[in-house]
Amino acid sequence: MKNRLKISILVAMLLCSMVAWSQNSTANRTLKLPKQKSKLQQLYLECINDSVTTKYNVGGPLYVDKKEVLLNLSMLKTHNPKYKTSSFNMIVFDVLEKAIVEPSDENKFTENQIKQIRRLSRGKRFYISDIEMRDTSGKPYSFPYSIEILVESRTILSASHDIDDPLLYIEFANTDGYHTKTHISKEELLTATTLNTYNPKYKVIDFRLYCFDCPGHTSFYFSDGNKFSGQQLNYIKRLAKGNIFYISMIKMQDNSGNEFIFPYTMMVVVD
């Protein structure tokens, strides 16, 4: 009788250990929901020309078909009165695919940034990234996305301002996904599987990976639905530490079945 009791106790202990291990294993694979803002920050570019101020919303159709508009860029602002843009970087790429990073003067475009825009020809891209903000109490907030702008072209940004932050993240084969992380090791990037969203209101339909070739041309590679395609991963294999690429033209769908292009891009730096 005592032996049976001992065996029963041992079996119970073993089962408890297995359950605990299973729970810990599941917990390690559970994606932690990051702190989210209820609404996506509503950014806009302010241009001043002959004392006339014009606002170009990022999130509605952004027309930059005239280079003169870009040469009059003054500030990057947000419609949300609770926040103020405190700094940002403008990133352009030279003919050798090298990223040139020009910092702002708080929320103002600098002379050096405008000089870089002046050098860009029709159809070339530049990006506004590393956008930092502060709320009314002075608490800092890092905006997790980038702005992509085409020179003398029309950038299709069809999403309205009134959308929640989808909280986009890249999911990897062996690790948890990331939301705001931009510096990712090449080894980890080669295990990228999908582009997903933490927000249950949305799902990713497809996306493009934009890169910059040595002659200074822009190339892009299509995804396989919300999965990273073989072409995209093959391109990542060729990248060196410090190289930058962007995930852009992210097509999404809400719970009602409405499709839209997400108005921002995701910057990734190979670490």
64-111 pLDDT, tens digit each: 657 777 899 999 999 889 999 999 999 998 766 678 999 999 999 999
238: which DSSP letter? Answer: T
Least confident window among 55-69, 82-96, 136-150, 182-196: 55-69
8 Å CB contact between 158 and 61? yes
Q: Given pLDDT bands bounded at 50, 70 and 90, which one contains residue 13?
A: very low
8 Å CB contact between 135 and 54? no
What sign has the CA pseudo-torsion 106, 107, 110, 116? positive
Q: Which long-range contacts (CB under 8 A, 24 or more apart) does 226-233 make?
A: 226/194, 226/195, 226/196, 227/193, 227/194, 228/192, 228/193, 228/194, 228/195, 233/190, 233/192
Least confident window among 2-6, 112-116, 211-215, 216-220: 2-6
CA atoms within 13 Å, Cβ hemisphere of 267: 23
